[in-house]
């Protein structure tokens, strides 16, 4: 297929690019390298520009006649979104609006969107999120993403555009063959930060809050290996092409680990100790976020292979060590 992939030089986009490239698809990546890296582009042709450049984007979409668009580009740091909301509404909401408008206008009828568990905020009962849980994001990042889902839903009702919104839970680890991994600057992802500590790149790390209503007081999250998540995009693309309908799907394993459990796992798997300080809660963090994980398996036939925290941590650590 001829595919437009935005944000392909970033963490998740590069893993999806790796799979789609191996399958022989003809891919054009639009990425301005604001947080991505050219070295992560293992396949496809790179167009280096900002999605904000609507005229250039339209020219490309019109000329290339893409059959599908996978939209990863965006700003993703929750605490930053609290400080700089406009940046998030601009890069996540406004740029997505233009992209959806242009795809619809020029006949790109299959659209996959990188959505997030942040849409649920603290709304889900006991932190278990089903796709029907109320959508009450508690930070501008989550709101900027929710509006994009709404635009897709409304557009798909009255046009030929079908979409799959994949609501990622906590994405972690690196490609099992270590071809690509996470390089995002200023990453706030727990396993990435703990791996940086284990490789000696950081002297230590903080745990933000131990007074949440969870088993040990620290936040609980559903960690999904990035290669499994990448496969969900391949499965979603097949679904769109064969079924010609839309779906909103959680991407998680259906169980969670606390921050303390993850940090202990990193120390055990890597055999490295490092300093961990407990500090106050961080703005915008929900206590527990775990996916109710059945729908994605039923609807697109996703079968994860790497539901193993030790493996997630090992790949993250080995990638981090390879980078240094």
Q: What is the contact surface with ligand NAD in residues (CB under 6 A)?
A: 7, 9-13, 30-36, 50-52, 72-74, 76, 91, 95, 114, 116, 168, 170-171, 184, 189
Residue whose CB is less far from ligand NAD, 31 or 196: 31
CB of 12 to ligand NAD, least distance (A): 4
Q: Quote the least distance from Cβ 52 to ligand NAD, whole Å.
A: 6
- Determine phi and psi for 42, rounding to 5 degrees: -80, -20
Query: Quick one: angle between helices 190-198 and 259-270, nearest 10?
Result: 30
Query: Could you tell me the smallest distance in angstroms from the CB atom of residue 168 to ligand NAD?
Result: 4
Catalytic residue among 11, 120, 141, 253, which? Answer: 141
Residue number with CB closer to ligand NAD (33 or 278): 33
Please identify, using beta-carbon distances, which residue of 73 and 300 lies nearer to ligand NAD: 73
Shortest reach from residue 273's CB to ligand NAD, in Å? 26
Q: Contact, 79 vs 141, CB < 8 A?
A: no
The backbone torsions φ and ψ at residue 51, rounded to the nearest 5 degrees and listed phi first, read: -55, -20
Residue spans of alpha helices (H) in the chain? 11-22, 54-64, 78-83, 85-88, 95-105, 140-158, 190-198, 226-243, 259-270, 294-300, 309-323
Tell me, yes or no, if 212 is annotated catalytic. no
CB atoms within 10 A of CB 130: 14
The smaller minimum CB distance to ligand NAD, of residues 119 and 269, is found at 119
If you ran DSSP here, which 8-state letter would residue 30 be given?
E
Catalytic residue ranges: 141
């Amino acid at each position: 297929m001829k595919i437009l992939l935005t944000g392909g030089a970033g963490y998740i986009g590069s893993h999806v690019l790796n799979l789609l490239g191996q399958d022989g698809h003809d891919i054009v990546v639009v990425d301005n390298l604001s947080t991505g890296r050219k070295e992560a582009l293992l396949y496809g042709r790179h167009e280096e520009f900002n999605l904000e450049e609507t005229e250039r984007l339209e020219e490309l979409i019109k000329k290339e006649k893409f059959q599908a668009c996978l939209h990863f580009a965006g700003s993703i740091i929750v605490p930053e979104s609290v400080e700089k909301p406009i940046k998030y509404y601009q890069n996540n909401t406004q740029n997505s609006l233009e992209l959806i408008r242009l795809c619809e206008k020029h006949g790109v009828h299959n659209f996959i969107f990188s959505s997030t568990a942040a849409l649920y905020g603290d709304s889900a009962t006991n932190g278990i999120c089903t796709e029907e849980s109320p959508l009450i994001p508690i930070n501008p990042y989550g709101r900027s993403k929710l509006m994009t889902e709404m635009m897709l839903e409304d557009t798909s009702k009255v046009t030929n555009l079908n979409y799959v919104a994949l609501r990622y839970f906590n994405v972690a680890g690196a490609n099992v063959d270590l071809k690509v991994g996470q390089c995002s600057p200023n990453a706030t992802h727990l396993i990435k930060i703990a791996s940086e500590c284990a490789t000696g790149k950081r002297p230590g790390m903080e745990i933000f809050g131990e007074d949440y209503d969870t088993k040990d007081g620290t936040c609980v999250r559903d960690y999904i290996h990035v290669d499994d998540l990448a496969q969900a995009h391949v499965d979603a693309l097949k679904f769109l092409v064969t079924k010609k309908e839309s779906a909103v799907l959680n991407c998680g394993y259906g169980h969670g680990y606390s921050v303390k459990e993850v940090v202990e796992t990193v120390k055990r798997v890597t055999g490295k100790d490092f300093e961990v300080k407990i500090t106050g809660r961080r703005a915008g963090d929900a206590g527990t976020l775990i996916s109710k994980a059945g729908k994605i398996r039923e609807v697109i036939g996703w079968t994860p292979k790497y539901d193993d925290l030790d493996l997630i941590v090992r790949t993250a650590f080995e990638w981090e060590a390879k980078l240094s």
